[in-house]
Amino acid sequence: MKVVVLAGGLGGSRLARALAETLDPGELTIVGNIGDDIEILGLHVSPDLDTILYTLTGRLDETKGWGRAGESWNALETVAELGGESWFRLGDLDLGVHLVRTEALGRGEPLSAVTTRIARAFGLEPALLPATDERLRTWLATPAGELPFQEWFVARGHRDEVDGVRFEGAEAARPAPGVLEALEAADLVAIAPSNPFVSIGPILAVAAIREALERRSVPAVAVSPLIGGEAVRGPAARMLARMAGGTSPAHVAARYEGLIDALVIDEADAGLAAGVRTIVTRTMMDDGEGRRRVAEAVLESAAALR
C-alpha cells in the first residue's frame, strides 16, 4: 500500500517513523515542510527535513526533540565568541549536513536532490522530499509585527500570539520533483500531527499540492496534534484557539476542509464532533507501541474509507 505523508518537524517525524516501521520502504514517501528553512551564518538550514531524517535514521536527540544525539557545540561557541549569530542552535554534527547542503545548493543542485543524497548516505529508506525546491518561507503576523518563522519560533520562543500566517513564495512554488507523482500513485494520503498552520500549512500552500489533494481519488486522513485540547509540544493549541476559535477536533479538521476524509483523534478528545469521520486511538507516539498504534489506525482507515 503506497502512502504519502505530509510532515512537519517532531510530530511529522514521529508519524513518518511510525509508517516507516509498518510499511515497506518503497511504499512510503514523506513530503516535508520547508517553510521554516532559514539562511543563517551563510548556511541553508532545513530544520524539518533534518528532524525527519535524524528521527528515521536513529540520529535524533530524543530528549530535546531536535538536533543530533551526541552533539557538540564547538563551532557555535566560536561564532558566539566572535559576535556572530548564535541564537539559532547549530551543533557540530548537524553543521556537517548544512555545509554539504549549502555547498550543493550553491552549485545549483535542487534541494530535493541534495536531500535525497543526504538521506541515502544516512541510510534512510523511504523517500524524503521537500514540498518544493523553490523558496517558500513562513511569516507570522503578531502584535509585535510580522516575523520570519525562526525569529518568532526560536529567537522569541514563540511567545508572540499569532494573528495570521503568510507563506512567502508559495504562489510561484511548484512541487518538488516526485511529489505529485507520489500523490498520484498513493493509496492513502496521511497528514501528520504537526502544527496545521506552520508545519502543514506551508506544504498545502503549494497550489499544485493542495489541488492534488482536493481532486484525490484515494482516502486522506489526518492525525490531530491535540491530546485533550492540548498540543504535545509547541504552540499549535494556542494558534488554534486564537486563529480557529478553539482546540477541538473540529477546529483541526476545519484546517483541512475538503482535503481529508477522516481525522485520527486521541481518546482524550473522543466524543467531540469533528465534522469528518473520526478514528479514536491513543495518539501519543513517544514509543514503539504508540507509533504502531497510530500507524495501524491510519492505515486501517484507508481500507474503511475506500
Binding residues for a copy of itself, rule: CB under 8 A, are: 41-43, 71-72, 74-79, 81-84, 91-97, 99-100, 102-103, 106, 117-118, 121-122
> In the structure grid, which three cell numbers stand for residue 125, read together?
529508506
Of 42 and 258, which has the nearer Cβ to a copy of itself? 42
Q: What is the DSSP string of 253-278?
A: HHHTTTT-SEEEEEGGGTTS--SSEE
Of 96 and 288, which has the nearer Cβ to a copy of itself? 96
Of 41 and 180, which has the nearer Cβ to a copy of itself? 41
Residues 148 and 164: their CA atoms lie apart, in Å, by 12
Minimum Å distance from CB 68 to a copy of itself? 8
Answer whether 178's CB lies under 8 Å from 129's CB.
yes
Instruction: Name the percent of the chain in helix, strand, coil, to the closest 5.
Output: 40, 20, 40
Of 72 and 306, which has the nearer Cβ to a copy of itself? 72
Minimum Å distance from CB 91 to a copy of itself? 8
DSSP element (H, E) containing 28: strand 28-32
Of 81 and 287, which has the nearer Cβ to a copy of itself? 81
Minimum Å distance from CB 58 to a copy of itself? 13
Minimum Å distance from CB 86 to a copy of itself? 9
The one-letter code for the residue type at 252 is V
Minimum Å distance from CB 245 to a copy of itself? 43
Q: How far is CA 102 from CA 39, 59, 225, 256, 288, in A?
A: 9, 20, 32, 33, 34
